[in-house]
């Protein structure tokens, strides 16, 4: 899809459709809609429909005006932006996506969007609009035999300013939007078309297409995983006929300092049956998405390589299937992780933390000084936070504070949960150092406590994206299916990491705000007693 910046008068632009934001400046139950445009002709074209009460400015509201008077555009699309006093780039990104998804099924292949002014500046608005349109342009129906491609060909952003100076912001929005969609494409693939080997091939192709000396990839198979003594990872992988893959991508710009080094570690379970502790049949088909954490890291490092921050970043994806077979590990088995810790297997469906345990430790061996992992790790996190917020855990308040700032800039929703030492007691083993699953209570936290055992004092953030990696129904701005959650935040974080790398210290701590909720007995059972997805 092409993105075009134009400083043309919006009333004089010839287009299939011109999208304009409408906000509500009124009080509660007394809407006062206002078009975010200064041109008198635009105000006049929208005046009648605004006066009718058909348009209120409610968030994601869409009303089309055909043959608008005074405009050369064939259609005027009014998109509700919510309260004017709180309107920001977060809403704008979704509104751009809403406009794109509104026009696509109407056989409109190009449209224009009037860029509103934001307190954060025109460049931020341009970047947000481009991101939103690219994300909205993705549809998951790739295997339908009667599929009709409704993809947009182009979008024109009407800006008040020098288009050349804003091109960098548009390019950045395109890179981020494309990389989020790359993650979504990987997660969308069914298990028979996205095995660990296939995921590794897609990662290789991505690096090859980038064609940059700064980014290199290695893929290790079963022999290397065993040679590295990754007993936790291999314990999961050995149950499947499909070979595992340890994907290691290094982004090392020539002018980057030797330290710090950011490690991005993703769970890449390309299909999760639960193993011997097999899952219920209901909903198991969705377990193709259990590699979303790994796909997130691939999308993030793709974008970062193109954005070229001056910092070393390594992405590691531990890819495997979790299958029941005569070779599969059993409840009660003891595995020895790469770190030397012994793990009693209580539940073979708590496999994600096993592959991440070795991935996190190996990232430290490679020289990573700061770690972030992402995984569709626990049903318990879905019970606690639903499908709105991802769970965040950290052993370092300084690193978490910077991550929270990146989260706000990216406009994604995550909620920090505690890592109090008392939780560790529930996964102590009588026969080994640690169990891979505790009681039914606090399952997302005990899973994070398990991972914490393999990072020691290294500053670390764990993202449990089980409830947010998949959009359960079509929304105005995004299609049902993979969300690409955390890609934008990781990009923001890594760019800040590069700018302030020399000042990155640690302030270990586990303070947190917020609380978790408990569900019904049925919901708790569906969460596999806090075990992994």
Per-residue confidence band for 527, with pLDDT thresholds at 50, 70 and 90: very low
HSE-CB at 5 with a 13 A cutoff on CA atoms is 22
pLDDT reading at 515 higher than 90: no
**At which residue do the structure tokens 């608005």 appear?**
125
Give the per-residue pLDDT at 259: 95
Stronger pLDDT, 17 or 506, i.e. the higher one = 17
Domain ranges for the chain, please list them: 2-143+151-160, 209-320+329-530
Render pLDDT for 490-503 as a digit per residue (tens, 0 to 9).
Answer: 999 999 999 886 56
Task: Tell the residue number behind the tokens 């990232």, with chain if given.
Answer: 363
Q: How far is CA 504 from CA 252, 261, 393, 459, in A?
A: 18, 11, 19, 10
Rounded to an integer, what distance in angstroms lies between the CA atom of residue 361 and that of residue 345?
19
- Greater confidence, 514 or 2? 2
First to last CA, the chain: 35
Phi, psi of 419 (to 5 degrees): -130, 50
pLDDT of 300-341, one tens digit each?
Answer: 999 999 999 999 999 999 999 999 999 999 999 999 999 999
Residue 525, pLDDT > 70, answer no
> How many CB atoms within 10 Å of residue 39?
17
Say yes or no to pLDDT of 520 above 70.
no
382: its two tokens: 């879905």
Alpha-carbon distance 326 to 330, whole Å? 10
Strand 370-375 versus strand 460-464 pairing type: parallel
Pairwise CA distance, residues 376 & 373, whole Å: 10
Q: Are strands 370-375 and 261-272 parallel, antiparallel or unpaired?
A: parallel
β-sheet with 334-336: strand ranges across:
334-336, 342-344, 434-435
3-state secondary structure of 285: helix
Rounded CA-CA distance 40/226 in Å is: 70
List active site positions.
279, 353
134-156 mean pLDDT? 96
CA distances from 418 to 105, 108, 217, 422 (A): 45, 48, 35, 11
Please report the pLDDT score of residue 161 as a whole number: 86
As a whole-number percent, the residues of the chain with pLDDT over 70 amount to 94
Q: How far is CA 70 from CA 36, 67, 304, 415, in A?
A: 17, 9, 44, 48
What's the chain's length in residues?
533
Collect contacts of 237-241 with beta carbons under 8 A, ≥24 apart.
237/320, 237/321, 237/355, 238/327, 238/328, 238/329, 239/275, 239/276, 239/321, 239/322, 239/323, 239/324, 239/325, 239/327, 239/328, 239/329, 239/348, 240/320, 240/321, 240/322, 240/323, 240/325, 241/323, 241/325
Nearest to 313 by CA among 151, 492, 497: 497
Shortest CA distance to 443 belongs to which of 514, 348, 373, 529? 529
> 462: which 2 tokens?
């764990």
Residues with Cβ within 8 Å of residue 220, at least 6 apart in sequence: 228, 245, 246, 248
Query: Which is it for the CA torsion 453, 266, 288, 150, positive or negative?
Result: positive
pLDDT of residue 510: 46
* Between 25 and 514, residue with greater pLDDT: 25
Is the pLDDT score of 63 beyond 50? yes
Strand residue runs (E) in 183-311 = 215-220, 245-251, 261-272
- Report whether pLDDT(524) > 50: no
- Bridging pattern class, strands 245-251 and 215-220: antiparallel
Closest CA to 424 of 411, 410, 435: 435
Alpha carbon distance 221, 242 (integer Å):
11
What architecture (CATH level 2) is domain 2-143+151-160? 3-Layer(aba) Sandwich (3.40)
Per residue in 176-188, pLDDT tens?
999 999 999 999 9
Q: What region, left, alpha or beta, does residue 148 occupy, with left being phi > 0 and alpha being psi -120 to 50 degrees?
A: beta
Which bin fits 227, alpha (ψ -120 to 50), beta or left (φ > 0)?
alpha
Taking alpha carbons only, the member of 416, 417, 397, 419 closest to residue 504 is 397
Which tens digit of pLDDT belongs to each residue from 215-226?
999 999 999 999
Q: What is the mean pLDDT of residues 52-63?
A: 95
- Measured CA to CA, the distance from residue 486 to residue 217 in angstroms comes to 22
Alpha-carbon distance values, 299 to 72, 177, 191, 206, 315 (Å): 39, 10, 19, 9, 10
The token duo for 19 is 């999208």
Homologous superfamily in CATH for domain 209-320+329-530 = Zn peptidases (3.40.630.10)
To the nearest whole number, what is the mean pLDDT of the chain? 94
Q: What percent of the chain has pLDDT over 90?
A: 92
Q: Contact at 8 Å (CB) between 324 and 198?
A: no
């Amino acid at each position: 899809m092409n993105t075009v910046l134009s400083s043309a008068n919006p009333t004089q632009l010839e287009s299939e459709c011109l999208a304009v934001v409408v906000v509500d400046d009124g009080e509660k139950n007394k809407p006062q809609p206002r078009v975010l445009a200064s041109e008198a002709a635009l105000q006049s074209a929208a005046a009648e429909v605004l006066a009718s009460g058909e348009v209120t400015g409610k968030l994601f509201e869409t009303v089309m005006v055909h043959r608008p008077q005074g405009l050369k555009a064939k259609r005027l699309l009014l998109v509700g932006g919510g309260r004017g006093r709180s309107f920001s780039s977060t809403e704008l990104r979704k509104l751009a996506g809403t406009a794109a998804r509104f026009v696509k099924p109407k056989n409109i292949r190009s449209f224009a969007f009037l860029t509103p002014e934001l307190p954060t500046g025109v460049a931020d608005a341009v970047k947000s609009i481009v991101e939103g349109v690219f994300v909205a342009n993705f549809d998951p129906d790739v295997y339908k035999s009667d599929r009709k491609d409704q993809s947009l060909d182009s979008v024109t952003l009407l800006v008040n300013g020098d288009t050349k100076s804003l091109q960098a912001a548009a390019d950045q929005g395109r890179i981020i939007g494309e990389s989020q969609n790359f993650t979504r494409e990987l997660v969308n693939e069914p298990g028979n078309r996205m095995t660990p080997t296939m995921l590794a091939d897609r990662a290789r192709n991505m690096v090859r297409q980038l064609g940059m000396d700064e980014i290199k990839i290695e893929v290790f198979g079963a022999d290397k995983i065993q040679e590295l003594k990754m007993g936790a990872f291999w314990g999961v992988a050995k149950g499947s006929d499909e070979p595992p893959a340890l994907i290691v991508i290094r982004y090392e710009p020539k002018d980057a300092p030797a330290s710090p080094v950011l490690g991005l570690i993703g769970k890449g379970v390309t299909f999760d049956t639960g193993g011997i502790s097999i899952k219920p049949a209901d909903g198991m088909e969705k377990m193709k998405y259990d590699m979303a954490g790994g796909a997130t890291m691939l999308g993030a490092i793709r974008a970062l390589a193109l954005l070229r921050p001056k910092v070393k970043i390594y992405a590691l994806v531990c890819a495997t299937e979790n299958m029941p077979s005569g070779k599969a590990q059993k409840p009660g088995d003891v595995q020895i992780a790469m770190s030397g810790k012994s793990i009693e297997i209580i539940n073979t469906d708590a496999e994600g933390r096993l592959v991440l345990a070795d991935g996190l430790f190996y990232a430290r061996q490679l020289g990573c000084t700061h770690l972030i992992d992402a995984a569709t790790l626990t049903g318990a996190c879905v019970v606690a936070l639903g499908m709105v917020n991802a769970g965040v855990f950290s052993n370092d308040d300084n690193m978490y504070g910077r991550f929270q700032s990146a989260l706000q800039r990216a406009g994604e929703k995550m909620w920090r949960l505690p890592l109090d030492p008392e939780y560790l007691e529930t996964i102590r083993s009588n026969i080994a150092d640690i169990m891979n699953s505790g009681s039914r209570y606090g399952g997302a936290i005990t899973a994070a406590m398990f991972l914490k055992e393999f990072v020691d004092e290294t500053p670390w953030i764990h993202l449990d994206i089980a409830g947010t990696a998949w959009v359960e129904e079509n929304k105005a701005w995004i299609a049902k299916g993979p969300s690409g959650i955390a890609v934008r935040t990781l990009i923001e974080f890594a760019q800040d990491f590069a700018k302030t790398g020399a000042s990155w210290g640690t302030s270990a701590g586990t303070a947190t705000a917020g609380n978790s909720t408990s569900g019904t007995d049925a919901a708790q059972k569906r969460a596999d007693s806090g075990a992994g997805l």
